[in-house]
Amino acid sequence: MAQYPRVREQHIAVFGESGSGKTVLLSSFFGPTQEGGYSKNLWDLVADDAGQGNRLYQNFLGMRDRSTVPMPTRFNATTYGFSVKLRGGDDADGKKRPFDVLRLVWHDYPGEWFTESPSSEEEASRRVETFRALLGSDVALLLVDGQKLLDHRGEEERYLRSLMTNYRQGILRLREDLLAGQPRLVQFPRIWILALSKADLFPDWDVYAFRDLVIGQAAEHIDELRATIQDLVEAPDALSVGEDFLLLSSARFELSSADATPVTIDVTRRVGLDLILPVASLLPLERRVQWNERLEIPRKVLDTLAVGADALALVLTGGKIAGLNKLVGRLPRVGPLASRAAIPALIAAARMAESQARQINARARENHDFLTATLTQFKLDLEQGIKSGLLIRSRR
């Protein structure tokens, strides 16, 4: 007999130098979902660790009620689990769906580890183990600190090149320990999104302005970072580094002109945080289809890309594609043939038009199909993020 609730897990790794706003982002991602007036009629967001949830909500309350930002978390490598718990999980229809809970595992990698050498063998070992723990992520966010961009106005190139070099050097220092005698890694984050944190500091920017600045000032350094990551992984062409861009802001901060401390923090003025769940859930599925069409990807690598994409595809299409699990199980070992076999399922879901997603979403809500409604809403949120100038997703 199946066990309930059934869980579908997505991982996201967040990288940023010290002070780039990772803790504030995380607190603002979770905090508003706990407010009394917050209501999602499809799902509830729950912290898997109650203590972590309380600390994040406390951080959020400090920003909301006292205009205080969380204390820095130096050298803390923490993994956070959040469960998107669907409504209607105990009824008969709910038990027919492939899973009941969508779990987001958020890996927070300490910023100091990109700029400072290990102080001991124990710390060096902890860095390796922390990175290994996030290898199951499909998506990684590389944060570009908006405050540092502002501090380097007119010479943004210096900051961006330093940032990309630090990311690259941090990975290079771990390379041999991560490989552990293997020629290449099969499982590794394949989508590396460049995300502007503290985007509220640039109210006139859209994501294209951010993309153009980064590419214009640091394209060769992004290429070097991509080459470093490609050298680590099997099927290195199945990789997006610096092709997807995202704007993120935890709140609107009004700072004191005297010492740049917050005077007011408007936590209702968030940017891009509602895209994190859709990006983590659906972008890997879309990218798997794109890559599988044009690349010859070994099956052992393909199996690590968007794990569970078959179930997601079935849900996204409203269960209209029969025999999906059997179909995916028979996929050929390499790209072009596999993509043709997957057309009725994965490609149909990945290429779903916005109008079709809207129709399926409306029907799912009417039928209290909370899972299909949630995932198609994620699809609609992605499309809206692109229209609103918050997200650029690679088409390669």
| Residue corresponding to tokens 């869980």 | 7
Q: How many helices (H) and strands (E) does the chain have?
A: 14, 10
Instruction: Indicate if the pLDDT at residue 280 is higher than 80.
Output: yes
pLDDT at residue 99, rounded to an integer:
73
As a whole number of Å, the CA-based R_g of the chain is 21
Q: How far separated are the first and last CA of the chain, in Å rounded? A: 42
Once rounded to an integer, what is the mean pLDDT over residues 310-317? 76
Q: Are strands 139-145 and 262-266 parallel, antiparallel or unpaired?
A: unpaired
Calculate what percentage of the chain has a pLDDT beyond 90.
52
Around Cβ 88, how many Cβ atoms within 10 Å?
Answer: 17
pLDDT at residue 74, rounded to an integer:
63
Q: Please report which confidence band the pLDDT of residue 122 belongs to, taking 50, 70 and 90 as the band edges.
A: confident
Residue pair 116/170 in contact (Cβ under 8 Å)? The answer is: no
Sheet holding 101-109, edge to edge: 43-47, 78-86, 101-109, 7-15, 139-145, 191-197, 240-247, 391-392
Q: Distance between CA atoms of 247 and 200, rounded to whole angstroms? A: 9
Summarised one tens digit per residue, pLDDT across range 36-72 is 766 667 888 999 999 999 999 999 999 999 988 887 7
Higher pLDDT, 296 or 241: 241
Once rounded to an integer, what is the mean pLDDT over residues 95-114? 81
Residue pair 339/289 in contact (Cβ under 8 Å)? The answer is: yes
Residue pair 250/67 in contact (Cβ under 8 Å)? The answer is: no
| Residue corresponding to tokens 């469960």 | 83
The structure's pTM equals 0.89
Q: What is the dihedral of CA 284, 290, 296, 301, to 10 degrees?
A: 0
3-state secondary structure of 316: helix
Once rounded to an integer, what is the mean pLDDT over residues 83-101? 67
Task: Name the amino acid, one letter, at 127.
Answer: R
Task: Name the amino acid, one letter, at 193.
Answer: I
Q: Please report which confidence band the pLDDT of residue 331 belongs to, taking 50, 70 and 90 as the band edges.
A: very low
pLDDT at residue 75, rounded to an integer:
58
**C-alpha 45: how far from its chain's center?**
16
Once rounded to an integer, what is the mean pLDDT over residues 273-281? 94
Written as six digits, the tokens of 364 are 């799912």
Q: Please report which confidence band the pLDDT of residue 320 belongs to, taking 50, 70 and 90 as the band edges.
A: low
Instruction: Indicate if the pLDDT at residue 350 is higher than 60.
Output: yes
Q: Please report which confidence band the pLDDT of residue 335 belongs to, taking 50, 70 and 90 as the band edges.
A: very low
Q: Distance between CA atoms of 392 and 389, rounded to whole angstroms? A: 8
Calculate what percentage of the chain has a pLDDT beyond 70.
84
Q: CB-based contacts of 293: which residues, under 8 Å, 6+ apart?
A: 335, 336, 339, 347
Q: Distance between CA atoms of 135 and 264, rounded to whole angstroms? A: 38
Q: What is the mean pLDDT of the chain?
A: 85
Q: Distance between CA atoms of 44 and 62, rounded to whole angstroms? A: 22
Q: Report H helices in 119-185.
A: 121-133, 146-151, 156-179
Around Cβ 303, how many Cβ atoms within 10 Å?
Answer: 13
Summarised one tens digit per residue, pLDDT across range 217-250 is 999 999 999 999 999 999 999 999 999 999 999 9
3-state secondary structure of 205: coil
DSSP secondary structure, 249-283, as one string: BSSEEEE-TTT--EEEEETT--BSGGGHHHHHHHH
φ and ψ at residue 153, rounded to 5 degrees: -55, 130
| Residue corresponding to tokens 């209290």 | 368
Instruction: Indicate if the pLDDT at residue 323 is higher than 60.
Output: no
pLDDT at residue 351, rounded to an integer:
79
Q: Please report which confidence band the pLDDT of residue 384 belongs to, taking 50, 70 and 90 as the band edges.
A: very high
Residue pair 127/117 in contact (Cβ under 8 Å)? The answer is: no
φ and ψ at residue 140, rounded to 5 degrees: -125, 135
Instruction: Indicate if the pLDDT at residue 2 is higher than 50.
Output: no
